[in-house]
Amino acid sequence: MPLDSQAPTLAPAALPTPGRLIALPLVLGLGVLIASFLKSDLTQNDFERFDDLRLTFLFFALIGAACFAYAALWRERPALSAKIVMGTALVGGALLVASFPVGSKDVFLYAFIGKVWGTYHTNPYTTPPAAFIADPWQPFAQVIWAQQPTPYGPLFLWQTRLVDGLAAGRLFAAVWMHKAIAAAALAGALVVATQLMDAAANERWYRIALLAWNPLLLFESAGNGHNDAVMLLLVLGAVRLHRSGGLGRWLCTPTALALAIWYKWYAVLFVPAFVLAAYRDAGCTVLRRWIIMLVVVVLASGALLLAPLGEALPLVAQRLGAHENLRQVFPLQLSPLLAALLWGLEATGQVGGGWPLMWFDVIRLGLFALAALLVLILQWRGKLGLIESLCGLSVAFTSLLVTVLWPWHLEVPVALALIAATPAWRGLGVLLTLMGLLSYFFTFVWATVSLAAVAAALWILRRLGRVANSVA
């Protein structure tokens, strides 16, 4: 069943503006803000450590209601104004910024990474936060990732160091600064996205609402402070500069892309799509300038960013080769595709020996290479635009390479899918949003199965309704 098969054909301007849809960001923000401070022990105040089922069910109800309302927004396509969309998004985002980060402890690790470098004057690429066992911040950083050196790029490390200096030893000040940066980056990404959307006048603000009111993007950026929003802003900025042509295409686009790479490493996967776009849109001469500029900016900015970190480059390469999200396998945190692959290999006895997951690694890497190649071929032939190609690469990466998949990993593919021109891509963005949010309480596999069951039930009910109407 096509992703957009349930979308009505009635023009958005002909539909009313239901108040329940407008309340989506407000109810989510206010509900999370109140519920996030109900637990007295803030060191255990996240989804993985709730020991009160009532609190767990409260958040499940909030997230479930947000999923339902967002699906309704996608299906009903109401008429919306700029004032309603942007005002509601700003208020809902502000409420989430004020909330306690209950989705994960990553933002506390961001603060601790800054302290490792800024306060303890130690290289975060060699020393994990867990090494400072007597630090008073340790109770807030009791997660497995705190036992490993940082996996992030040096541009993000400079952010953590700046925040650490401004926070002056105050943990919550550092945490909320990171949350504010993520929220501001999401707001900036939204502004750029409005310039990239190819939307008809009668559906423009509905399309923007799908992005601005997206509960996954709001919750993970404004609520939990994840740094994916900054990389998203840099990538979208690169796309906007590419479309501007001229100097912006061959000078500013590689610069923005280089900064995205030094912020979060996996932005390097987007380089081939930009190379193809530069060649198709401007020819070989501009492409040569583009490649030279990218190499120069990557090397120059990398040398500048890594200079204070000593012999960091070999350590960075070592960390990337053994990144926990690409090497360690958490069966409950696999994408549906990788979970099916692992279960199939286990059922056929192909797991074990000196390299227990050999076939798992070989197949998933091969599938990713094929998927990426297919996306780039379609882009080369003009079947996909730059935004769609970037989205396809991002989806292939998260679903086939990442073996510890968390909801916030879907921020970039969700945003790109919602910006894309065709309804099918937007349907994919909605589907990934619902999967990501529901995975907090199920697994990605069971979230997918649940959504498929609901979609099948709705389709059956719709068919039965049509049959009853025809008989009547």
Q: pLDDT for 99-118, tens place per residue?
A: 999 999 999 999 999 999 99
Rounded CA gap, 466 and 472, in Å? 10
In a domain, 457, yes or no: no
Higher pLDDT, 51 or 444: 444
**What pLDDT is stored for residue 172 in this prediction?**
97
Domain that holds residue 343: 13-441
Amino acid identity for residue 122 in this structure: T
On whether the CB atoms of residues 137 and 171 are closer than 8 A, the answer is: yes
Closest CA to 158 of 166, 148, 168, 147: 166
CB 284 within 8 A of CB 290: no
Confidence of residue 181 (pLDDT cuts 50, 70, 90): very high
Least confident residue range of 16-20, 251-255, 360-364, 415-419? 16-20
The per-residue pLDDT for 7 is: 45
The whole-number pLDDT of residue 10 equals 41
CA atoms lying within 13 Å on the CB side of residue 415:
31
Distance CA 274, CA 48 (A): 39
pLDDT higher than threshold 60 for residue 25? yes
Q: Is position 447 within any domain?
A: no
In a domain, 296, yes or no: yes
Output the pLDDT for position 313: 72
Eight-class DSSP state of 330: -
| For range 33-57, the mean pLDDT | 86
Mean pLDDT of the chain: 88
- pLDDT at residue 149 is higher than 90: no
The pLDDT assigned to 12 comes to 44
Question: What pLDDT, on a 0 to 100 scale, did the predictor assign at position 198?
Answer: 84
- 472 within domain boundaries: no
> Given this model, what pLDDT does residue 327 score?
63
Mean pLDDT of 303-309: 89
Residue 438 has pLDDT above 80, yes or no: yes
Domains in the chain, number: 1
> Average of pLDDT values for 318-323?
60
Domain contains 346: yes
**Quick one: pLDDT band at residue 4, thresholds 50, 70, 90?**
very low
Model confidence at 309, pLDDT cuts 50, 70, 90, reads confident
Rounded to an integer, the average pLDDT of 309-325 is 66
Q: What share of the chain is helix, strand, coil (3-state, %, to 5)?
A: 75, 0, 25
Query: What's the CA gap between 387 and 445, in Å, rounded?
Result: 27
Higher pLDDT, 183 or 422: 183
Intra-chain end-to-end CA distance of the chain, in Å: 27
Name the pLDDT band for 354 (thresholds 50, 70, 90): low
Residue 465 belongs to some domain of the structure: no
Tens of pLDDT, residues 373-406: 999 999 999 999 999 999 999 999 999 999 889 9
Lowest-confidence segment of 190-194, 245-249, 354-358 by average pLDDT: 354-358
339 pLDDT higher than 70: yes
Share of the chain above pLDDT 90, in %: 61
Q: Tell me which of 310 and 26 has the higher pLDDT.
A: 26
| Residue 466 included in any domain | no
User: Greater confidence, 145 or 10?
Assistant: 145
- Cα distance between residue 202 and residue 429, in whole Å: 21
Predicted pLDDT at 5: 41
According to the model, what pLDDT value does residue 17 have? 57
pTM, entire model: 0.91
Q: 411 and 229 in contact (C-beta within 8 Å)?
A: yes
Q: Please report whether residue 5 resides in a domain.
A: no
Pair 423, 275: CB distance under 8 Å: no
Q: Residue with structure tokens 């005002």?
A: 87
Query: Is residue 3 scored above 60 in pLDDT?
Result: no
